């Protein structure tokens, strides 16, 4: 997607993540899809921000750090995709 040392902002990948999460996806799948290293920092930078902004929702609401947790686009995320299309 970008050169190895390039900084990727959330806005650069938000649309890509939202489209990818039309079906439930795990954190590792999402980070691999946007071609960033699988680290807690990247989880926080990309996935957790979208969770906090309610663009995606989790199937496990009690434990946010569960390894088997899946994420899917929310109604707010769908509205965002429609607005930028």
The residue ranges of every structural domain in the chain are 10-84
Three-state DSSP class for residue 70: strand
pLDDT category at 67 given cuts 50, 70, 90 is confident
Mean pLDDT of the chain: 86
Nearest to 43 by CA among 22, 60, 68, 26: 26
pTM of the model: 0.80
Residue 2, token pair as written in the block = 């970008």
CATH architecture of 10-84: Orthogonal Bundle (1.10)
Question: Smallest Cα–Cα separation from 56: which of 32, 83, 78, 31?
Answer: 78
pLDDT digits (tens, 9 = 90+) for 19-60: 999 999 999 999 999 999 999 999 999 999 999 999 999 987
pLDDT at residue 12 in the model: 72
């Amino acid at each position: 997607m970008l050169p190895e040392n390039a900084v990727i902002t959330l806005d650069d990948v938000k649309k890509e993540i939202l489209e990818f999460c039309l079906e439930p996806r795990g954190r590792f799948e999402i980070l691999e899809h946007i071609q960033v290293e699988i680290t807690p920092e990247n989880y926080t930078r990309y996935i957790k921000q979208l969770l906090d902004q309610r663009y995606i929702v989790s199937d496990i609401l009690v434990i946010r750090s569960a390894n088997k947790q899946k994420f899917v686009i929310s109604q707010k995320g769908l509205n965002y995709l429609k607005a930028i299309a």
